[in-house]
């Protein structure tokens, strides 16, 4: 149905079955033209390029994100090459004159979990992290809410969709509302939710930081990540770049470090903006196809269910339904299916030998579904799985 719009990636490897849409989503054909447009604009505007990018390209990207997440202040969205920049900047915004306490889960992506672990190693008596286990999934939200109200934290960080299972937090609003202290930074990692799970941040946009990017379901490739910053935020990140005072750079030097009064206070420095061009092109394509996040999600859910039905009809010993995480009765999940298997490393290798692209996180295999799949691709996947 939509495969013709991914022709360059699909034709580059016709025998490849790419079921890693959750990891490295194939790019739309329109993003190639957008990438070239960035080169042409660089030639056209030369030294005036950044003025054009901020006034036109970034402004358009902010509008797209605001519409998808139901935000009312597009100017509170700031961009960076990766989410780790934002994680580091958020950490640097905390009050380090006293011990720092973090609440999170045991299922956060490496951008956050690695950095938090390293800080814990470096300052074990000064930097503490309480990690709430994601499993059992059925009780996670209740257990996390209990942890939130039990004591005061400097930062609460959690994912909308867990990267190592696809488990979805069903009620972001009530979870955020349960945070007792207004001084606590609340950060939502939305990377596996953005452009995949229908999401409205309208009720909590004044309270949370939300980070995500274009590499996965926004189908824009690397280098285009963003952070939504609460409008009233007055934090002064220690880890800061010159874009964070862009509006006043031409003025006389100040005796103190100043910041923008919008999302740019969390900006870094010079970056490659080609990802923004690809992102805008992808969003325009969605609009032209009348593809809302709701429609995309419904399309993917139907494919996931078809795959699971095929596994029921033709059980595959190497991929039992009993290994599905979260269990099948929890129907709300991200755009990938996760199977926990003792021999996950070997199975991933065997699938790659069959030109099936999935990915693995520890002992879990992830199968990601997207718009460039149809039931025919799912049938082909089953056929190759049957040869294991």
Cis peptide before 136 (omega within 30 of 0): yes
- Reading the block at residue 108, the tokens are 């956060």
According to the model, what pLDDT value does residue 123 have?
97
C-alpha span between 77 and 301 (Å, rounded): 29
SS3 251: coil
C-alpha span between 261 and 265 (Å, rounded): 7
According to the model, what pLDDT value does residue 149 have?
98
Burial class (CB in 10 A: 0-12, 13-18, 19+), 129: middle
Task: Put the strands of the sheet holding 336-340 in their side by side order.
Answer: 324-325, 336-340, 364-368, 359-361
According to the model, what pLDDT value does residue 251 have?
74
SS3 187: strand
Domain at 33-285: CATH code: 3.40.640.10
Helical spans, DSSP H, in the chain: 7-12, 30-45, 49-52, 59-69, 83-91, 110-122, 140-150, 172-177, 274-288, 293-313, 344-353, 375-385
Answer whether 87's CB lies under 8 Å from 75's CB: no
Cis peptide before 48 (omega within 30 of 0): no
Question: Which residue in 87, 101, 237 sits closest to 156, CA to CA?
Answer: 101
Output the tens digit of pLDDT for each of the chain's 388 residues: 899 999 999 999 999 999 999 999 999 999 999 999 999 999 999 999 999 999 999 999 999 999 999 999 999 999 999 999 999 999 999 999 999 999 999 999 999 999 999 999 999 999 999 999 999 999 999 999 999 999 999 999 999 999 999 999 999 999 999 999 999 999 999 999 999 999 999 999 999 999 999 999 999 999 999 999 999 999 999 999 999 998 777 676 778 899 999 999 999 999 999 999 999 999 999 999 999 999 999 999 999 999 999 999 999 999 999 999 999 999 999 999 999 999 999 999 999 999 999 999 999 999 999 999 999 999 999 999 999 9
Dihedral, 5, 9, 11, 15 alpha carbons, nearest 10? -120
Residues of the chain with CATH 3.40.640.10: 33-285
What's this model's pTM, rounded to 2 decimal places?
Answer: 0.97
**Is CATH 2.30.30.30 the right assignment for the domain spanning 3-24+291-385?**
no
Residues of the chain with CATH 3.90.1150.10: 3-24+291-385
């Amino acid at each position: 149905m939509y495969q013709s719009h991914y022709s360059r990636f699909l034709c580059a490897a016709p025998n490849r079955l790419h079921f890693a849409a959750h990891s490295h989503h194939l790019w739309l054909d329109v993003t190639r033209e957008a990438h070239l447009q960035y080169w042409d604009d660089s030639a056209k505007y030369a030294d005036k390029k950044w003025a054009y990018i901020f006034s036109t390209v970034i402004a358009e990207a902010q509008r797209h994100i605001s519409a998808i997440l139901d935000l009312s202040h597009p100017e509170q969205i700031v961009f960076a090459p990766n989410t780790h920049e934002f994680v580091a900047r958020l950490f640097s915004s905390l009050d380090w004159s006293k011990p720092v306490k973090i609440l999170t889960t045991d299922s956060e992506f490496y951008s956050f979990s690695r950095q938090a672990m390293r800080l814990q190693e470096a300052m074990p008596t000064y930097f503490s992290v309480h990690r709430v286990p994601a499993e059992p999934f059925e009780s996670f939200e209740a257990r996390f809410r209990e942890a939130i109200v039990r004591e005061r934290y400097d930062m609460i960080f959690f994912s909308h969709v867990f990267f190592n299972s696809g488990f979805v937090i069903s009620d972001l609003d009530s979870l955020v509302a349960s945070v007792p202290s207004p001084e606590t930074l609340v950060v939502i990692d939305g990377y596996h939710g953005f452009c995949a799970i229908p999401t409205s941040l309208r009720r909590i946009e004044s309270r949370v930081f939300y980070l995500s990017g274009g590499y996965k379901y926004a189908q824009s490739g690397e280098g285009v990540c963003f952070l939504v910053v609460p409008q009233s935020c007055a934090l002064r990140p220690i880890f800061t770049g010159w874009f964070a005072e862009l509006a006043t750079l031409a003025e006389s030097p100040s005796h103190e470090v100043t910041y923008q009064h919008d999302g740019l206070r969390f900006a870094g420095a010079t970056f490659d903006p080609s990802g923004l061009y690809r992102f805008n092109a992808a969003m325009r394509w969605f609009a032209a196809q009348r593809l809302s996040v709701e429609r995309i999600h419904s399309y993917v859910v139907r494919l996931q269910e078809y795959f699971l039905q095929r596994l029921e009809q033709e059980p595959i010993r190497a991929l039992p339904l009993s290994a599905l995480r979260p269990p099948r009765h929890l129907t709300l999940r991200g755009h990938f299916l996760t199977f926990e298997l003792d021999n996950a490393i070997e199975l991933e290798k065997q699938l790659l030998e069959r030109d099936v692209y999935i990915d693995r996180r520890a002992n879990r295999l992830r199968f990601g579904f997207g718009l460039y799949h149809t039931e025919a691709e799912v049938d082909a996947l089953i056929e190759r799985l049957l040869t294991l």
